[in-house]
Structure 1
């Protein structure tokens, strides 16, 4: 449990390092919510977190996470990965294992939702091979960062950048964030998708974070798969859930894991 002094320090560090805009500070609740996101990565329950709380750049986020490290509130060597204008906070050891397992076990599950499709479908072989090669590039890049981190002092927050204009970032983020399947669309044709009014099975994973407060229930994962493909992806989803439950048993930061699912149908789906 974060004591009163640590909580005050956490809020101070966040408000000093990050702002919603030039004038507006992070609220206390938002400071705690952001810390819970990072703690999920630090505890190994997810490989990465896509930082979308404000428009801070990679250097500012790196300095912020470094300050959190110095407070003793985090335990792992975290890494800041820039992909174009997007920033991810990564648990290097966890994400290497995650991507390595996906590549070795042929776990690259890709759903084609290109706008010209009448319905979503599992991606064709050439798409899956292309995505697999791209994931392999990122895996090798991050593995090289692990080697460099191993030569650095403990608690150092490292940073790197990688990007290719050939990558569909929606697809790459799906893998980096630890989803059991990832959406793909042909962005050379259109950035729209065919998920409008398509029945989806939406998954949500949450848990309490007593280290911050007894009443904070934090959502760790939120993703969906088309209902029409659920049976095809059921094995991958069950494996993902089993591994998540196993990881949950080895940590002490979160309690009362809850995995829920519901059917939704939306007029528009942003990816």
Structure 2
């Protein structure tokens, strides 16, 4: 950790705090080098009992195994996330069909099975052709709204689409952020999923905490929504 810049150390510490307080089920470590650098051991020591690292393709996730396993079980049994099809062949984003949801659940079940049967703190998973990594990343990070797109296409339909970005910020960092196409916000399934996510993850807050600041155990958190439109969206 001493080799990292102070700003990056602060960001990692905040994310680990969010992980340890169950505000997120896993933490994506977007470093080119992570394993066997000392940072991996520091993360495991911070998380404590049940701490694991998942290497999925080229990326690493830090998590508490019982918590992530419980999250994935709940996802499969209670449909805690809603999936949006952003394939480039669509004129605009739309809810995934039941067939696609079944495919997504199948990939989640495979990941869950590998987590449950592993007895190591470092778990390796090779990507398979049927898995959509962007979707799995959203699932592992606990987003209430997760994107899916056909992997037979090399782009998506989010370009120039207004997106409502939901974010939680603290200390100048954004440890939690996900987006929803504005055209989908009127769908009651999506609004219910976001409300359920808030009540489950931040039970001490009001039902609609957006665009407000809250002091939680001495930390100031800003819950915000911002509409953005970008010419190109790459997942």
Q: TM-score under structure 2 normalisation?
A: 0.85
2:209 corresponds to: none
Distance 1:219 1:269 in 2: 19
1:131 aligns with 2:104: yes
Q: 1:80 to 1:68 in 2, by over 3 A?
A: closer
* Mapping of residues 204-243 of structure 1, within 5 Å: 204-207=167-170, 216-232=171-187, 233-243=190-200
Equivalent in the alignment of 2:89: 116
Q: Which structure has the larger Rg?
A: 1
Q: RMSD of the alignment, in Å?
A: 2.2
Check the 8 A contact 1:203/1:224 in 2, yes or no. yes
**2:44, 2:106 → 1: CA distance?**
34
Aligned partner of 1:60 in structure 2 is 36
Q: SS state of the match for residue 66, structure 1?
A: helix
What is the DSSP-based 3-state SS (H/G/I as helix, E as strand, rest coil) of the residue aligned with 1:175? helix
Q: TM-score by structure 1 length?
A: 0.75
Give the paired residue count. 222
Distance (whole Å) between structure 2 residues aligned to residue 65 and residue 247 of structure 1 = 32
- Say whether residues 1:255 and 2:230 are aligned partners: no
Question: CA distance change for structure 1 residues 244 and 107 in 2, over 3 Å: closer, same or farther?
Answer: closer
Partner residue in 2 for 1:80 = 53
The question of 1:165 aligning with 2:129 is answered yes
CA contact (8 A) 2:16 2:43 kept: no
Query: Which position in structure 2 is the counterpart of 1:41?
Result: 19
d(CA) in 1 for partners of 2:141 and 2:102? 20
What are the Cα deviations for residues 158-201 of structure 1, in whole angstroms up to 9, with x where unaligned?
1111132211100000000010011111112x231000111111
Relative to structure 1, is the Cα distance of residues 237 and 67 closer, same or farther in structure 2, using a 3 angstrom cutoff? closer
1:180 aligns with 2:144: yes
- Structure 2 distance, partners of 1:34, 1:88, is 13
Question: Aligned to 2:231, what secondary structure does the other structure show?
Answer: coil
> What pairs up with 1:139-154 in 2 under 5 angstroms?
139-145=112-118, 148=119
Consecutive unaligned residues in structure 2, runs of 5 or more: 206-215
Aligned to 1:89: 62
CA contact (8 A) 1:203 1:261 kept: yes
> What is the CA–CA distance in structure 1 between the aligned matches of 2:182 and 2:16, rounded to whole Å?
31
The structure with more helix, counted as a fraction of residues: 1
Is the strand fraction higher in 1 or 2?
A: 2
The one-character-per-residue Cα deviations of 1:58-112 (angstroms, maximum 9, x if unpaired) are x325x42324555xx5444321111111111122122112111111112341110
